[in-house]
Amino acid sequence: MSEIPPQNHGAMFDFSLTSDDKSWLSSQYPTLGLEETADSVVVSGKLKFEMVYDADKDSFTISPKNYKGKSVLIKDEYEVKIVLPKSGSNDLPKVFETASRITEVAKNKSLPKYDLHFNFDDSACLYVAGKETEYFPEGFDFKIFINHLVIPFFYAQSYFQKFEKWPWGEYSHGMLGLFEWYNEREDHSQADVDQMLNRLKLSGEWGSIAQRFKGGSWVKGHSLCLCGSGNKIRKCHNSALMGMWKLGKDVKMYGTTSSI
């Protein structure tokens, strides 16, 4: 997962909550309240959930009934605030953990909070930037947002607190995660390249290597990894390295160095 405020740069989402959405929230998550301000709808309170993740099938179930399997069932709760803009936006709603529980976890484990999948503005990093329309191909759906993004995020936090590892595969943090995502996709258009460069600029880390792309002096496989591990990048984050090389070739092909 990428730890920058995710940008869609594409579909404009409408976050209006229907009467059905509000009834569903009240029924399924009664400890969450809803308040409207001039420019947003704020859902806040205690988020209580039960979820089980099946690693073999890479699938999860919310509120399983009488679960007896071998996968990890977690029942937990977090104080949260979810901010849904009233106006259309390219960005998905932001989610915050408001009781500082995760901040304390990071402190106790001597980890920066972004290592626990939080953005620089302290919002939760629910997904890798660029995958918004994969979750919402037909427009924003509040129920999917809660059950497919918010609950799994907090399940993973509880899982990490209990087992000191994450329950499923993850993208690397920040800029490296973006390069891994870019490496997975094929046949990039010039619009894709421009979109990727925009996301990189927002990461706060891009300035450290931007000139290499502009000058054509790409990151080498034996260079020290950008994550700070001290290992060679081809051994540490090879998929990210492949994404860098792919982006470098695309930048050269489309002649987009002026936008770096």
Residue range 7-60, pLDDT digits in tens? 444 467 899 999 999 999 999 999 999 999 889 999 999 999 999 998 888 889
Q: Which residue has the higher pLDDT, 212 or 197?
A: 197
* The pLDDT of residue 192: 84
Task: Tell me how many domains the chain contains.
Answer: 2
For residue 6, pLDDT beyond 70: no
Q: Which of 137, 163, 189 is the endpoint of a domain?
A: 163
* The pLDDT of residue 203: 66
Residue 154 belongs to domain spanning: 19-163
For residue 5, pLDDT beyond 60: no
Q: Which residues pair with 84 in a beta bridge?
A: 41
Q: Percent of the chain, pLDDT > 70?
A: 89
Mean pLDDT of 191-211: 80
Burial of 78 (0-12, 13-18, 19+ CB in 10 A): buried
Residues 152 and 192 in one domain: no
| Cα–Cα distance for residue pair 256/140, rounded to 1 Å | 32
- For 229-250, give the secondary structure using H, E and C: CCCEHHHHCHHHHHHHHHHHHH
Residue 5, domain member (yes or no) = no
3: confidence class by pLDDT, cuts 50, 70, 90: very low
Residues 154 and 189 in one domain: no
Residue 200, domain member (yes or no) = yes
Residues 45 and 132 in one domain: yes
Give the mean pLDDT of the chain.
85
* The pLDDT of residue 100: 93
Residues 252 and 189 in one domain: yes
Q: What is the DSSP string of 73-98?
A: EEEEEEEEEEEEESS-BSSPPEEEE-
